[in-house]
Structures are given as C-alpha cells and as structure tokens.
C-alpha cells in the first residue's frame, strides 16, 4: 500500500507524522479548518458508517448506536469506491465519532481515545473532531491524537467566548484582550463588544482559531524536543478536568504509555510536579533496579544523598565522598538516595534517567515523595540486605529520616555518620565517615581503575538488556585481554583491540559493536528484530520486520538478524509497533554484516 500517513517521530504516545491529503504532505499533529472541511478544500471525504468492525470502542452503555467513520484522502485508491462498500479498517486515518461526549468525564475522555488508539493500527492517523481548544489540545496530542479541527474554537467564538491557553473567558468580563494576534492587535475589548453579533462572532472565532493553531505549533515543538510530558504537566494546571485526565493517565493507563515511552532521551527530565513521580521513566528505572541490577560483592552498603550535578560523581559533594571512601572502595558499595528515582546504585549513575533529571531542591519533601523514595529503598534492602555486613548512612535531614524509618520497619541496624541536620559535606561529617569505614573495614582495599569501570559497564549492560548480560559481555577466552579506555562516563570496552561496547553519555546508553553483539546475541532475544531476506543499509523499514522483541522501546539498542544480514542499531519504534506497522523507520542501522555471501 502506498504511503498516506507515516509517523516520523515519537515522544511517548504523541507523534509527529506526515499526512498526504493533497499533493503536498502535511505535518501532523495537524489542524483542519472548519470552513475548508465544508468546502472540501482539505482534499478528502468523510463518510459515516454504521456498525464498524470494532465494537470494543463502543462498549460503554452511553453508546446506543455504534458508529465510526473512516477518512480517506482523495488520492487514496478506495476513495472512488466510498459509496460501494465500507473500506477495510486498514485505512490511513480514523475518526472518533461522538467525540464531544468525551468532555462529560475525564475517565471517558481518557478511555475512549486510548481504546481507539489501541484498536486501530499504530500507523493510522487518529482524528478526534469537534472538541479541540487551545486549552485541551496538548492533552489530546499527548494521548496519541494526530488530527484536530477548529470547529469548537469557532463555535465558541460565535457564542461570545474568548479563548486563552488557560481556558475560555466571557468577552463581557474582559477589560483588555490578553493576546497579540492580528485580530486582538487591531481592536480593543470595548470596541469588540460594540460590534454587531455577526462581526463580533467572526472576530472571536478567528482569534480562537489562531490561538489553537499557535498552541498546536507549540505542541509540535515539544514533541520534536522530547519534552511533551513536561509541557503537559504545565498545561493541565488550567483546569481540574485536565488535571484529572493526567492523573488517570498515570494511575490507570500506564500499560498504554509504557511501551510508547522511549528508553532514553538526550534531554533533561524535569520533575517539577508531584505527577512527575508517576512518570513511566521513573517507574521503569525503579523496576529495572530491582529486576535487572545485581550489586557487586562488597561488605558495606553506603547510602549517600544525590547531588544537583549529574552524573553525581562529577559534583563537588560526591568528589568529597569519593575521597573519603577511596582507601576502602573494595569493601564499600555506594547507593544514592534521590527523588524521584528512589535509589541509584553508583554503577548506574550515567544511565538515563539517572544522569538526566532535575528537581526543585528546597530541603522540604512532600509526603508522597518521601513515601515513594522510602518504598524504593525498602524494596532494595529487602532484596539485597543479606549481601552486606553493615549498612552505613551518610545522610542528614529528610534522607536520614527516610532511611531510619525503613530500617526500623525492616529491623535492620543502620550506622549513621551524619547528625540530624548536619551538612553532609562538612569536614567533621566526612572525618566521621572515614573513621567509621576504617573501623568497619579493618584493612584498606582500593579498587583498580579497570574494576571500577568494569562494574559500571556490566551494570549498564544488565540494566539495558537484562540480568547476566553484563557478565557475558565481560566473559573472556583464555589468553585474550579486556581493556576499558575513555574518560568517565564515555568508556569503551575492547578485547584484544577489538571494540565491543561504548557508553554514549548523551543518551545514557550502552551501544554494542557487531563483535560485542555476537558475544551476547543468545541472551538478547528480547532485544532482537527479525528481518526479512534482505541486507539493510541505513535503516530498516517496518514492512521488512518479521518479528521483534516486545521489550524494545524507542531508542533501545537492538540486534537485527535475517537470512542475509546480522547487525546492530537503534530502535525508532517499539517492538510491537514494528510488527504492526506497514511503514516507517523501525531501526536505524549502525553496523551490519552480510551473511551467506560466499
Ligand atoms: Zn488574539
């Protein structure tokens, strides 16, 4: 099938794509204008069809008459057959009908859009008609909507409502028009009120539509930048309805967002709100620390506070901790307590999002934030406490309180090297830490540079691909030698001069070379893309994918293999989407080798 809609970029469930309606392709998320829709200028026909093939969309009792509609561009081969038969569901766009009813309840809003998105193929554009406004459009796009229109903005203009990004205002209440669009710059509020109904309605409708268009452009900018979630947290504050939508998304729809959320980004995750605690990235990190991370064999667990600078090792406070620990490093395992990530083992400080988050630091912690971080520490200790002879907490303030309350619950003894409100980097505190380690460790035991770097690379491989992958990557045949070069955190692992893997600090990821991938291919079934009988160059398109590991997320490092090729690359869509899509870039190829070429 030819290309009418293609997703080009993803940020969570939000997508940027190209839709071919007329001759030129248009960027989505796209705004349709009501007047050109009516005149047919957008280049497509809309037809309602009774009894569509997906009744699950309409399972709620509110929907007595199941209805859907398909949107076909005029260039589509089925366009001329619209009057003959109901086109198959494998269309390029789908229109969600009765969308206005979404505004009755936040739960309905969330459920129906997600149900539609999950029912239609991922490379189908979803149009939710008649409800977009400057206030809610960011939420619609965040949910996975690709097409909106200005009908609601225009109608509300004729009803005397003046739109702002924070909601609709009555023109009667406005002393000044809080906007600089072409309409608002040309007329004052009192002049606008005095115009006759029709002209006033027209001008308000134009302003509302312009504002919606501006907001949609802003949304596209945020998807491109990978900051859609941060923007959404900001946007939903304007109304309880939208804030409820976000909470429901986080609390009830995590299964929808998890596979759609990239495994790494090159931007900072801003945890500015309580909702940030519920982000997929935060939950995923915490789960992987429990499921995939294996602590090194050390006698003492040392709990440390986080730092503003990331990776933590680069911060002045962690340099001081490091100096204090250095002689005993072979005995000490460092774990950092932080919000919103919970616990970050030292070996994972360079991964995404551990090296990529920022929080407002005031010394005050919300109850929910405390409960979350404490639960992460509790889970970690329940799992690994038996490995350690002693737990040392170099913590003060809320960190210390959390640590002691968890230890009390688990009936564990914690040795504190800081007073309740002591500066954790004060020389007295550092001296106490040093003395305590001397006493507990007995002998000094430094770690070689190689061992320190190796523990980080092993842990990163496990974190990314699953437990025991790191060990396999480091398994060495007799007579060969592993070497780690590069400056923290940009380490490179090689074996007898052949590079196996590299840390890419810009994304907090480990990338594999072909040689590295061969070593661990057996363990990477979940991260393997099976391709058809061809030798890819540059990228692997979705139709060439036969099967793909369901663990694969956007930006994951993947292997691909087929009859003619074996290679490594970066996933551009989730594994499930690679299989379900008929177009789009599935994997960006980094290295490939031809098979059976003899
Ligand atoms: Zn305006």
User: What residue segments make up the domains of the chain, in order of their start?
Assistant: 5-226, 269-441, 450-594
* 203 CA to centre of ligand 1 in angstroms: 9
**Ordered DSSP codes for 175-214:** SS----SHHHHH--HHHHHHS-HHHHHHHHHHHHHHHHHH
Determine the distance separating the centroid of ligand 1 and the alpha carbon of 217, expressed in angstroms.
Answer: 15
Band (pLDDT 50/70/90 cuts) for residue 578 is very high
What separation in angstroms does the CA of 43 have from each of 6, 13, 21, 522?
A: 18, 27, 6, 50
Note the pLDDT tens digit of each residue in 313-355: 999 999 999 999 999 999 999 999 999 999 999 999 999 999 9
Share of the chain above pLDDT 90, in %: 79
Alpha carbon distance 275, 259 (integer Å): 19
> 184 CA to middle of ligand 1, Å?
4
Per-residue model confidence (pLDDT) at position 66: 30
Residues 6+ apart with CB under 8 A from 272: 230, 233, 359, 360
Å from CA of 212 to ligand 1 middle: 10
Angle at 229 between CA 147 and CA 279, to 5 degrees: 125
Low-confidence winner among 48-57, 388-397, 480-489 (lowest mean pLDDT): 48-57
Residues, CB within 5 angstroms of ligand 1 (ion) = 179, 181, 184, 207
Residue 372: how many other CB atoms lie within 10 Å: 21
Q: Is the pLDDT of residue 92 over 60?
A: yes
Ligand 1 centroid distance, CA of 403 (Å): 53
pLDDT at residue 205, as a whole number: 97
Query: Would the pLDDT of 3 be above 60?
Result: no
> How far does the centroid of ligand 1 lie from the alpha carbon of residue 18, in Å?
28
Fold classification of 269-441 (topology level): Rossmann fold (3.40.50)
Question: Does the pLDDT at position 70 exceed 90?
Answer: no
Q: Please state, in angstroms and as integers, the Cα–Cα distance from residue 200 to each residue in 133, 205, 207, 327, 419, following that order.
A: 19, 8, 11, 77, 67
DSSP helix, strand, coil percent of the chain (3-state; round to 5): 40, 20, 35
In this structure, what token pair is assigned to residue 52? 């569509």
The predicted model gives 253-281 an average pLDDT of: 94
Q: How many whole angstroms from 35 Cα to the centroid of ligand 1?
A: 19
**Cα angle 307, 312, 313; round to 5:** 135
Average pLDDT, the chain: 90
Residue closest to 5 by CA, chosen among 24, 18, 14, 16: 18
Say how many Å lie between the CA of residue 159 and the centre of ligand 1: 16
Of the listed ranges 33-37, 71-75, 182-186, 278-282, the least confidently predicted one is 71-75
Q: How confident is the model at residue 116 (pLDDT cuts 50, 70, 90)?
A: confident
**Rounded to the nearest whole angstrom, what is the distance from the C-alpha of residue 207 to the centroid of ligand 1?**
4
**With the CA atoms of 464, 468, 472 and 476 taken in that order, what torsion angle do they form, in degrees rounded to the nearest 10?**
120
Comparing 37-41, 168-172, 241-245, the range with the smallest average pLDDT is 37-41
pLDDT at 115: 87
Question: What's residue 48's pLDDT?
Answer: 41
Fold equal for 269-441 and 450-594: no
Residue 120: asked if its preceding bond is cis (omega within 30°), the reply is no
Instruction: Give the mean pLDDT of 270-293.
Output: 95
- The per-residue pLDDT for 547 is 98
Give distance in angstroms: CA of 148 to centre of ligand 1: 20
8 Å CB contact between 555 and 584: no
Centre of ligand 1 to C-alpha 204, Å, is 8
Residue 247 has pLDDT above 80, yes or no: yes
For 5-226, give the CATH class.
alpha beta
Q: How far apart are the CA of 22 and the centre of ligand 1, in A?
A: 29
Q: How far is the CA of 482 from the centre of ligand 1 (A)?
A: 64
Residue 78 has what pLDDT? 53
Measured in angstroms, how far is the CA atom of residue 39 from the centroid of ligand 1? 25
CA of residue 231 to ligand 1 center, whole Å: 22
Q: What is the pTM of this model?
A: 0.90
Superfamily of domain 450-594: PUA domain (2.30.130.10)
Measure 211 CA to ligand 1 centroid, in angstroms: 7
């Amino acid at each position: 099938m030819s290309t009418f809609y293609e997703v080009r970029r993803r940020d969570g469930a939000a997508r940027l794509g190209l839709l071919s309606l007329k001759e030129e392709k248009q960027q989505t998320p796209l705004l349709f204008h009501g007047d050109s829709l009516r005149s047919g200028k957008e280049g497509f026909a809309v037809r309602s069809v009774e009894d569509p093939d997906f009744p699950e969309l309409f399972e709620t009792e509110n929907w007595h008459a199941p209805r859907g509609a398909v949107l076909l561009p005029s260039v589509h081969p089925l366009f001329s057959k619209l009057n003959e038969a109901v086109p198959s569901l494998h269309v390029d766009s789908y229109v969600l009908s009765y969308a206005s009813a979404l505004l009755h309840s936040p739960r309905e809003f969330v459920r129906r859009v997600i149900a539609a998105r999950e029912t239609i193929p991922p490379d189908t554009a979803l149009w939710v008609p008649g409800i977009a406004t400057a206030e809610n459009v960011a939420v619609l796009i965040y949910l996975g909507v690709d097409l909106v229109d200005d009908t609601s903005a225009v109608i509300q203009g004729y009803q005397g409502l003046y739109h702002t990004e924070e909601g609709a205002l009555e023109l009667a209440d406005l002393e000044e028009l809080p906007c600089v669009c072409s309409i608002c710059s040309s007329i004052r509020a009192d002049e606008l009120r005095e115009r006759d109904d029709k002209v006033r309605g027209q001008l308000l409708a134009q302003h509302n539509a312009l504002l919606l268009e501006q907001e949609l452009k802003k949304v596209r900018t945020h998807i491109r930048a990978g900051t859609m979630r941060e923007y959404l947290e900001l946007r939903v504050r304007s109304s309880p309805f939208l804030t409820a939508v976000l909470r429901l998304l986080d609390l009830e729809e995590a299964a929808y967002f998890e596979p759609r959320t990239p495994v790494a980004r090159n931007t900072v995750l801003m945890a500015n709100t309580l909702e940030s605690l519920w982000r997929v990235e935060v939950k995923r990190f915490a789960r992987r620390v429990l499921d995939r991370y294996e602590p090194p064999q050390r006698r003492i667990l040392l709990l440390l506070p986080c730092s503003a600078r990331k990776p933590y090792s680069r911060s002045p406070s962690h340099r001081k901790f490091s100096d204090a620990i250095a002689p005993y490093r072979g005995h000490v395992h460092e774990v950092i307590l932080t919000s919103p990530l919970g616990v970050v083992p030292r070996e994972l400080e360079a991964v995404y999002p551990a090296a990529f988050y920022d929080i407002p630091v005031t010394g005050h912690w919300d109850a929910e934030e405390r409960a979350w971080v404490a639960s992460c520490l509790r889970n970690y200790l329940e799992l690994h406490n038996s490995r350690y002879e002693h737990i040392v907490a170099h913590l003060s303030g809320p960190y210390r309180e959390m640590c002691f309350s968890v230890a009390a619950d688990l009936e564990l003894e914690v040795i504190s090297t800081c007073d309740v409100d002591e500066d954790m980097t004060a020389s007295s505190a550092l001296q106490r830490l040093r003395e305590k380690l001397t006493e507990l460790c007995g002998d000094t035991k430094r770690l070689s540079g190689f061992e320190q770097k190796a523990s980080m690379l092993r842990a990163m491989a496990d974190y990314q691909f699953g437990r025991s992958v790191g060990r396999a990557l480091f398994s060495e045949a007799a007579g060969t030698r592993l070497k780690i070069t590069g400056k923290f955190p940009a380490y490179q692992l090689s074996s007898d001069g052949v590079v196996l893997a590299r840390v890419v600090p810009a994304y907090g990821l480990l990338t594999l070379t072909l040689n590295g991938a061969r070593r661990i291919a057996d363990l990477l079934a979940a991260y393997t893309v099976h391709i058809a009988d061809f030798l890819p160059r540059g990228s692997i398109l979705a139709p060439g994918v036969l099967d793909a590991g369901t663990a694969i997320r956007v930006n994951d490092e993947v292997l691909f293999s087929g009859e003619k090729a074996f290679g490594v690359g970066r996933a551009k869509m989730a594994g499930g989407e690679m299989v379900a899509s008929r177009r789009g870039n599935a994997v960006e190829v980094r290295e490939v080798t031809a098979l059976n070429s003899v």
